[in-house]
Amino acid sequence: MTICYIGIGSNLGDPAKKAQLAIKALQQLPQSQWVAVSALYCSKPMGPSDQPDYINAVAAIETTLTPLALLDQLQRIEQEKGRVRKAERWGPRTLDLDLILFGDQTIVNERLTVPHYGMKQREFVLYPLFEIAPQLTLPDGQSLANLVNNCPLNDLQVYCDN
């Protein structure tokens, strides 16, 4: 079994509910065991600022799926939850599931880059990941704790449904 970390993001169509539905779907992945999920966080959007704030979380699973088979499963879940892939990067979306880390592997191909290419600069990935894996070291040897210590919060906050 390989431990994997999956970023969860949504800012359309009741984002907190979409994130919770994604978590339930991740718990049912084939050839996989559920490990943990962070709290939900509220973050400002990357890219165009004329879109709603995001709800983000990071989940951990252990799996015997290959990286591309896991990616296929994540994209299936996105599609089932209403995701329509568009050419626009960083635009609004009903659900975004990103494979952040796949064990200690480094993967670069036409469909998948792991570790996720932007994870080291994204507070909405680093802080939730740190919540569930504070001792984590990335494949390049960098400690997650050091990355978090050098990453501004940028108004990231734990989501409270009040």
Query: Can you give the pLDDT of all 162 residues of the chain as single tens digits?
Result: 999 999 999 998 899 999 999 999 999 999 999 999 999 999 998 777 778 899 999 999 999 999 999 999 999 999 887 766 555 555 567 899 999 999 999 999 999 999 998 899 999 999 999 999 999 999 999 999 999 999 999 999 998 764
Kindly list the catalytic residues: 83, 93, 96, 98
Contact 29, 76 (CB under 8 A): no
Torsion sign over Cα 29, 31, 32, 33? positive
CATH architecture for the domain at 2-158: 2-Layer Sandwich (3.30)
Question: Would you give the DSSP letter of residue 121?
Answer: G
The reported pTM is 0.93
Residue-level pLDDT at 50: 79
Question: Would you give the DSSP letter of residue 120?
Answer: G
> Which amino acid appears at position 30 of this protein?
P
Contact 71, 29 (CB under 8 A): no
Residue-level pLDDT at 51: 85
Count Cβ atoms below 10 Å from residue 152 Cβ, excluding itself. Answer: 8
Residue-level pLDDT at 86: 58
Strand 113-114, strand 41-43: pairing: unpaired
Q: Which residue ranges make up each domain of the chain?
A: 2-158
Residue-level pLDDT at 48: 72
CA dist 46 and 116 (Å) reads 15
Please, what's the b/e burial string for 91-124 (b: 16 or more CB within 10 A of its CB; e: otherwise)? Answer: ebbbbbbbbbbbeeeebeeeeeebbbeebbebbb
22 exposed, middle or buried (CB, 10 Å; 0-12, 13-18, 19+)? Answer: buried
Residue-level pLDDT at 162: 46
Bridge partners of residue 36, in order along the sequence: 60
